[in-house]
Chains A and B, each alone.
Chain A
Amino acid sequence: MTLPVVLDSDGLDALCHPSPPPAFRALLREAYERRRDVLVPAVVCAEACRGAARTRGVEAAVARHASSRGQLPAVRVVITDFDLARQVGAVLHGAGAGSADMVDAHVLAVCARHGGGLVVTADAGDIERLAQAVPSARVVARPAR
């Protein structure tokens, strides 16, 4: 199984930035070389879409592609359907966490669906704590910068 890259807010912010940090660009380059999917939970977009300017940045980042050459956006937005919501609940319950960890729990739920993932996050400690609830998933956390 090829494990994906999953963007938390830190990763999505880096993707939206006009000059993404070198560490983030290196992570995505490695993801490209290893043919990994790049995913972002929709709820992470909700966290980032605050204010018109930031919202436009997110819209551009997740939609950027050349459709004339058959491309689709490089980043796949993962919608929260019932199955994912159930997994989110399981992560929160398993980690003894509350709703304050809702966004990070979505990130872990997306990882769990794929058997794991490389999470780009500024909150590695939170991700590691929640990852205890999904021991079958291999999760690695790295900052974007």
Chain B
Amino acid sequence: MAKRKITVTVDEEVVEQAHALGVGPSLSAVVNEALTAHIDRLARRAALGELLDSWDDRLGPASAADAQAARAAFDELDGLTAGQGAA
């Protein structure tokens, strides 16, 4: 794939640690990989947002009860409630 040279600003400590770990010569590849992963997630999130909006436009938003149940499920997943996952 064609490459484009850009200037990025990163934390000095991270660069020093990268060099200490021998990442220096391949720093561009590491930055490219991290940026690729980040962009991938953004691109998928954008599609999900459009999909949800299209459903809401056509079907109306989910009820407050469904939204609350969804929030509770994620709170349980994230350990914000007393739930213990699938156990």
Contact = CB atoms under 8 A, between A and B. Distances in A.
Interface of A: 3, 19-20, 22-23, 25-32, 34-38, 64-66, 69-76, 116-119, 124, 127-128, 131-132, 137-142
B46 interface: yes
Contacts of B41: 35, 37
Interface in B32-87: 40-41, 43-52, 55-56, 58-59, 62-63, 66-67, 69-71, 73-74, 76-79, 83, 85-87
Given A19-B59, A71-B44, A72-B43, A140 B86 contact: yes
Given A72-B44, A74-B48, 18 more contacts: A22-B63, A26-B67, A30-B71, A30-B74, A31-B48, A31-B74, A35-B41, A38-B44, A69-B46, A70-B43, A71-B46, A72-B40, A72-B43, A73-B44, A76-B44, A128-B86, A140-B83, A140-B85
B74 A38 contact: no
B85 A26 contact: no
Given A32-B52, A72-B40, A124 B73 contact: no
A118 B77 contact: yes
Interface size class of B (residues with CB under 8 A): 20 to 34
Interface in B13-33: none
Contact of A20 (B55, B85, B86): B55
A74 B85 contact: no
By DSSP majority rule, is chain A's interface helix, strand, loop, or mixed? mixed
Nearest to A76: B44
Given A23-B62, A131-B85, A139-B86, A30 B73 contact: yes
Contact of A138 (B62, B63, B85): B85
